[in-house]
């Protein structure tokens, strides 16, 4: 199996809303469109445990990492890859998850170090890699800052096997973490009135390394840069993380720069001509951002411009969009700061099974019990299409839409956006009102049952929407019903290969 760590590519976003909490979001891309994820709940544990990475996932066998996890272990819910886990191995690539303490981890964005950094501080093939991070942090950390420090300690002890960026958030703050070389890292707190966008390239630049309230680093970071000629302290130029450690090539100019430029322009209502790689790091949005704004950001494919590969039906378009067919999952997670909210409502993770420009986001609350997870979000198999999972319902629709994007793509996306808007503006508030009435009346058990029922209804509605859109797409193409599963895989494979946009 191809190493997921090497060839998957991610878009990451963090936002802070001034009044109502903050949002983190990310898409997860896989080699092809048949890679699946599923929801998995890890119960709390009293004793210690051993984490062992899953080389059956990485394929190359070069991530044979293991570490002892202390007792006790927090419960957490996450979305690992749906793969056969090897004997005595853990689930890998738990892309996003939340734990009992209210910490959310989203990992990772693949980033690359420049050659000079790698010569000075080589990667460790048995060190921390992308697949390990949520599985190590979520059972242990109770706050975002602690999560940063914990991951940093793992890198200091074991080294890194690749470059990555990841997000840690709790009710009070969000931190973004970037690694370089084998043992270098820098993390920054996202300011309360700002948003941050990144796309497969290290984004941090100048930072006040003495401001430990907002900036944390690997030990001796500046001294290392100076000692190895990665920063000239006598030049009078401030230390710059990106300039010192991060790879910047011609490929970045088409693969990464456009995504950052367009999303920054969208949220500040500016133009899209900003030149990379030295984009602004943190920016204030033109208006507070909500979850629907962020979902739309994850659907960016340069609509209305000559660089829209789908609208122009140009698989050779050099600009890589945010929205690609091989995205196997996306999330938008909202952490809420209202102290009057009961803990079960404190975190909402909107999960999209597959690529969000042709599939809906479904809200999942922190309080969803581990024994009440929707079956349609579990158990999808990459080689066997089924009629239950949201993953394959979405892929069935996408295989049809890509037969005639111009006729079907925009209207399909709009139908999905309308449903999401109805959920966010009508259905979810109505559920929360009912939940609060029960909770405040002392009927906590009934409130939790209402939460479970709401979740399952959301998943049912999402599946019904995907089925209806697929039937409509098939009819538009003059088909006599939906194509059989045997025809689905070749259709999906062909579209996925045509619009691959591969490589960071």
- The tens digit of pLDDT for each residue in 150-208 reads 999 999 999 999 999 999 999 999 999 999 999 999 999 999 889 999 999 999 999 99
Do 222 and 280 reside in the same domain of the chain? Answer: yes
**What is this structure's pTM?**
0.95
pLDDT tens, residue by residue, 300-354: 999 999 999 999 999 999 999 999 999 999 999 999 988 899 999 999 999 999 9
CB atoms under 10 Å from CB of 99, counted, come to 27
Of residues 319 and 58, more confidently modeled: 319
Dihedral angle of Cα 89, 90, 93, 96, to the nearest 10 degrees: 180
Give domain status of residue 11, yes or no.
yes
Per-residue pLDDT at 270:
84
pLDDT of 264 strictly over 60: yes
283 secondary structure, DSSP code? B
| Domain ranges, residue 104 | 4-289
Strands 164-169 and 195-199: unpaired
Per-residue pLDDT at 14:
64
Collapse the DSSP code of 347 into the 3-class scheme (helix H, G, I; strand E, B; otherwise coil) and give the result. strand
pLDDT tens, residue by residue, 74-106: 999 999 886 555 566 677 789 999 999 999 999
- Count Cβ atoms within 10 A of the Cβ of residue 385 and give its class: 0-12 exposed, 13-18 middle, 19 or more buried: buried
Give domain status of residue 309, yes or no.
no
Instruction: Give φ, ψ of 423 to 5 degrees.
Output: -60, -50
Do 15 and 73 reside in the same domain of the chain? Answer: yes
Given 264, 289, 314, which residue is the final one in a domain?
Answer: 289
Residues 6+ apart with CB under 8 A from 156: 183, 218, 219
Average the pLDDT over 359-372 and give the result. Answer: 98
pLDDT of 1 strictly over 50: no
Give domain status of residue 333, yes or no.
no
Of residues 207 and 13, more confidently modeled: 207
Do 243 and 351 reside in the same domain of the chain? Answer: no
Average the pLDDT over 442-465 and give the result. Answer: 98
Do 283 and 370 reside in the same domain of the chain? Answer: no
CB atoms under 10 Å from CB of 269, counted, come to 9
Give domain status of residue 330, yes or no.
no
Q: Do residues 270 and 264 make contact, with C-beta atoms less than 8 angstroms apart?
A: yes
Do 285 and 387 reside in the same domain of the chain? Answer: no
Band of pLDDT at residue 6, cut at 50, 70 and 90: very low
Do 285 and 362 reside in the same domain of the chain? Answer: no
Do 275 and 345 reside in the same domain of the chain? Answer: no
Helix (H) or strand (E) holding 253: helix 250-255
Give domain status of residue 326, yes or no.
no
* C-alpha distances in Å from residue 36, one per residue of 248, 374, 381, 480: 31, 16, 6, 28
Average the pLDDT over 10-39 and give the result. Answer: 75
Given 289, 323, 348, which residue is the final one in a domain?
Answer: 289
Give domain status of residue 315, yes or no.
no
| Two structure tokens written together for 435 | 């939940």
Average the pLDDT over 206-228 and give the result. Answer: 98
HEC states along 158-196?
A: HCECCCEEEEEECCCCEEEEEEECCCEEEEEECCCCCEE
Do 250 and 399 reside in the same domain of the chain? Answer: no
Do 218 and 367 reside in the same domain of the chain? Answer: no
Q: What domain count does the chain have?
A: 2
Instruction: Give φ, ψ of 362 to 5 degrees.
Output: -120, 130
CA–CA separation, 268 and 279 (whole Å)? 13
Do 134 and 269 reside in the same domain of the chain? Answer: yes
Do 255 and 376 reside in the same domain of the chain? Answer: no
CA–CA separation, 415 and 218 (whole Å)? 47
Residues 6+ apart with CB under 8 A from 311: 301, 303, 304, 405, 406, 409, 410
Give domain status of residue 247, yes or no.
yes
Residue ranges in 31-168 assigned as alpha helix (H): 55-58, 115-120, 133-137, 144-158
Give domain status of residue 298, yes or no.
no
Using the CB atoms, write b or e for 111-148: b if 16+ within 10 Å: bbbbeebbebbebbbebbbbbbbbbbbbbbbebbbbbb
Do 420 and 285 reside in the same domain of the chain? Answer: no
Given 222, 257, 289, which residue is the final one in a domain?
Answer: 289
């Amino acid at each position: 199996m191809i190493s997921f760590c090497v060839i998957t590519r991610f878009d990451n976003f963090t936002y802070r809303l001034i009044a109502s909490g903050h949002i983190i979001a990310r898409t997860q891309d896989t080699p092809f469109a048949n890679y699946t994820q599923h929801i998995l709940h890890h119960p709390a544990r009293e004793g210690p445990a051993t984490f062992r990475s899953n080389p059956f996932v990485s394929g190359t066998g070069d991530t044979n990492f293991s570490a002892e996890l202390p007792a006790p272990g927090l419960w957490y819910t996450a979305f690992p890859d749906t793969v056969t886990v090897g004997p005595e191995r853990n689930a890998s690539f738990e892309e996003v998850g939340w734990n009992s303490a209210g910490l959310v981890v989203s990992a990772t964005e693949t980033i690359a170090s420049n050659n000079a950094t790698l010569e000075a501080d080589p990667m460790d093939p048995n060190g921390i890699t992308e697949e390990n991070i949520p599985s190590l942090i979520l059972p242990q950390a109770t706050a975002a800052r602690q999560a940063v420090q914990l991951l940093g300690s793992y890198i200091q002890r074991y080294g890194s096997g690749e470059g990555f960026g990841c997000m840690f958030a709790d009710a009070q703050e969000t931190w973004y973490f970037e690694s370089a070389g084998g043992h270098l890292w820098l993390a920054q707190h996202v300011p309360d009135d700002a948003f941050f966008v990144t796309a497969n390239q290290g984004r941090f630049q100048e930072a006040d390394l003495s401001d430990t309230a907002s900036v944390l680093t690997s030990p001796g970071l500046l001294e290392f840069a100076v000692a190895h000629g990665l920063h000239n302290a006598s030049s009078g130029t401030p230390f710059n993380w990106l300039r010192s450690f991060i790879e910047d090539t011609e490929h970045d100019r088409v693969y990464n720069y456009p995504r950052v430029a367009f999303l920054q322009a969208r949220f500040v209502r500016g133009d899209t001509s900003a030149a990379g790689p030295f984009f602004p790091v943190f920016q204030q949005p033109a208006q507070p951002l909500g979850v629907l704004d962020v979902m739309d950001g994850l659907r960016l494919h340069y609509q209305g411009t000559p660089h829209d590969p789908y609208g122009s039906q140009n698989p050779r378009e050099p600009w890589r969009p945010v929205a690609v067919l091989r995205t196997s999952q996306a999330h938008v997670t909202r952490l809420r700061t209202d102290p009057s909210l009961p803990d079960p409502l404190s975190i909402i993770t909107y999960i999209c099974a597959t690529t969000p420009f042709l599939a809906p986001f479904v809200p999942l609350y922190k309080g969803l019990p581990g024994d009440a997870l929707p079956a349609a979000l579990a158990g999808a198999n990459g080689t066997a299409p089924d009629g239950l999972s949201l993953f394959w319902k979405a892929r069935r629709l996408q295989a049809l839409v890509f037969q005639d994007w111009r006729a079907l793509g925009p209207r399909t996306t709009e139908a999905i956006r309308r449903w999401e808007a109805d959920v966010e503006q009508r259905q979810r508030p109505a559920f929360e009102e009912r939940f609060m009435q029960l909770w405040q009346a002392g009927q906590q058990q009934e409130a939790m049952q209402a939460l479970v029922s709401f979740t399952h209804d959301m998943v049912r509605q999402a599946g019904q929407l995907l089925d209806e859109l697929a039937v409509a797409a098939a009819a538009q193409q003059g088909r006599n019903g939906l194509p059989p599963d045997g025809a689905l895989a070749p259709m999906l494979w062909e579209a996925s290969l045509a619009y691959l946009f591969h490589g960071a």
